[in-house]
Amino acid sequence: MRAFIASSIGVTCAAVLVLPTAVPAGAAADTSTAPAESAEPSDVPGSTQSLPMSPLPEESDRTTDEPTRTAEVAEQGLLEREVRPFSLVGVVWNDVDTELHGTVQVRTRAIGTTRWSDWQDLETHNAEHAADPGTAERESGTVRGSTAPLWVGESDGVAVRVHPEASDPQDRTSPAVPLPTGLRLELVDPGKDPRQLPAAGAEADTADAWGTADISDADGRTAPLEPSVLPALSKQETETLSEAEAGLAPGAQPYIGPRPRIITRKGWGADEKLRERAFVYTKSVKAAFIHHSATGNNYTCSQAPAVLRGIYRYHVKSSGWRDIGYNFAVDKCGNIYEGRAGGVTKPVLGAHTLGFNTNSMGIAVLGTFTSSNPPAAAVNAVAKLTAWKLGLFGADPRGKVTLVSGGGNKFKKGTKAKLNVISGHRDGFATECPGARLYKKLGSARTTSAQLQGR
């Protein structure tokens, strides 16, 4: 599958990478230069191991299931080795503007066993996830090129291979496109769940609904941490909230779907020490872009908060993003999660659809839906979320909207693009995201979303 570099928005602080202080017993020594142990606060849950890659042995020294090489090019990677426990894996490289033309595969060993997985593909992105070109975030110089991360569950062994693509796809012996410099394998431990979430539909514990710590917005003001769960409201309850409470745009028509139950950042265990403290907003939310996370479908719904913590850490620490890129996430059971910080009712600027982050929101369905069907619960959750959030800004889920491109491979900068109010990522950028199977479900999501708004 041809894919694209997952670049990102810029941040004001450099990414921090963590390596073991010693090679575990039985592990192959890494002879390349490794970064020093990070100065990351000891109270931040989770960790990231960053392992530099090197050329792999010649074909004669490797097993017969390895892919045929292109001419005069050595694959890069790491042979099987023991590492500290991790659950999510990805690959990064130095230059965010350099595309990775090739395939990236990993195999992992389940923790406490001798069982190794088959080789699994990582989805490589070529710049479709990023802040828009020319913005301060994009041009900060701190972001890296990166693949999509893959959720593999608790593991303590890993191997990786990166196979370059031939310059002529019809001739596998043609010279290969050079691989990006600085290839590194990122192994993410998302840390333990900080709390046991309430059952779906249950009210948040009022005794523990608000934290005592404060977080600062872009103006330096402080506000208490959010409750772990925002309970669902009926349509009438949602519509009777004041403009300030509902986040309703002034003058917008009151076609608002009922607010769905939302697990906040506090609820899924996002540590606010990881992200950049300031918030960034756009003027409105005129459209929703639907994504799949490409992290695979091998997770349980009880693991979804850990998957999110892993993606969050990978986006910030490995890729150099200011925060998780998506505004919201949805798991296979239909649970809805707050993504990028700044307030669920506000037009928070994300890093999800290169060229169209302004006045839009990004929703990631956790999983990979290129050849697997998305669960009905997930599609219904997308409809519920868009009916509410788009309704706050007067947007019709069945309608069209004209957005001005900030630059990308499908629409040049300044192009006025007419898109569906609920679009797939591929509508704004040449990519397979959100996967063919999920993309086919967007029509029914638009219809349901509009019905929930009362249209």
Model pLDDT, residue 374: 96
The CA distance from 310 to 400, in Å, is: 34
The CA distance from 277 to 17, in Å, is: 19
Question: Bridge partners of 77?
Answer: 54, 161
Same domain, 270 and 380: yes
pLDDT reading at 210 higher than 80: no
Give the count of domains, the chain.
Answer: 2
pLDDT reading at 138 higher than 90: no
Intra-chain end-to-end CA distance of the chain, in Å: 39
Residue 36 has which token pair? 């020093």
Q: What mean pLDDT is predicted for residues 26-50?
A: 54
Least confident of 208-217, 261-270, 322-331, 388-397: 208-217
Same domain, 158 and 226: no
Least confident of 141-145, 273-277, 288-292: 141-145
Closest CA to 183 of 308, 5, 340, 28: 5
User: Does residue 238 belong to any structural domain of this protein?
Assistant: yes
User: Does residue 197 belong to any structural domain of this protein?
Assistant: no
The radius of gyration computed from the CA coordinates of the chain, to the nearest angstrom, equals: 22
User: Does residue 1 belong to any structural domain of this protein?
Assistant: no
User: Does residue 195 belong to any structural domain of this protein?
Assistant: no
The CA distance from 293 to 304, in Å, is: 12
Model pLDDT, residue 307: 98
**SS3 category, 453:** helix
The CA distance from 378 to 376, in Å, is: 5
Residue 375 has which token pair? 């669960």
If pLDDT is split at 50, 70 and 90, which confidence band does 203 have? Answer: very low
Q: For residue 257, which amino acid is it?
A: G
Of the two residues 316 and 126, the one the predictor is more confident about is 316
Distances, alpha carbon 377 to alpha carbons 10, 219, 227, 249, 438, in Å: 34, 38, 24, 29, 12
pLDDT reading at 59 higher than 50: yes
Of the two residues 302 and 244, the one the predictor is more confident about is 302
Q: Which domain holds residue 113?
A: 47-189
If pLDDT is split at 50, 70 and 90, which confidence band does 206 have? Answer: very low
Least confident of 166-175, 332-341, 433-442, 443-452: 166-175
Contact 97, 127 (CB under 8 A): yes
Residue where a domain terminates, one of 158, 189, 220: 189
The CA distance from 94 to 3, in Å, is: 18
The pTM of this model reads 0.82
Q: Write the CATH number for 225.
A: 3.40.80.10
Closest CA to 157 of 51, 77, 83, 106: 83
pLDDT reading at 165 higher than 70: yes
Residue 27 has which token pair? 């592990």
Same domain, 172 and 218: no
If pLDDT is split at 50, 70 and 90, which confidence band does 343 have? Answer: very high
Same domain, 86 and 229: no
CA–chain centroid gap for 197, Å, is 22
Same domain, 212 and 179: no
User: Does residue 40 belong to any structural domain of this protein?
Assistant: no
Least confident of 171-180, 277-286, 296-305, 420-429: 171-180
Same domain, 145 and 219: no
User: Does residue 99 belong to any structural domain of this protein?
Assistant: yes
User: Does residue 116 belong to any structural domain of this protein?
Assistant: yes
User: Does residue 103 belong to any structural domain of this protein?
Assistant: yes
Of the two residues 342 and 60, the one the predictor is more confident about is 342
Model pLDDT, residue 373: 96
Helix axes 442-453, 376-392, angle to 10 degrees: 50
**SS3 category, 7:** coil
Same domain, 96 and 178: yes
Closest CA to 238 of 221, 216, 262: 262
Residue where a domain terminates, one of 189, 224, 259: 189
Residue where a domain terminates, one of 134, 158, 189: 189
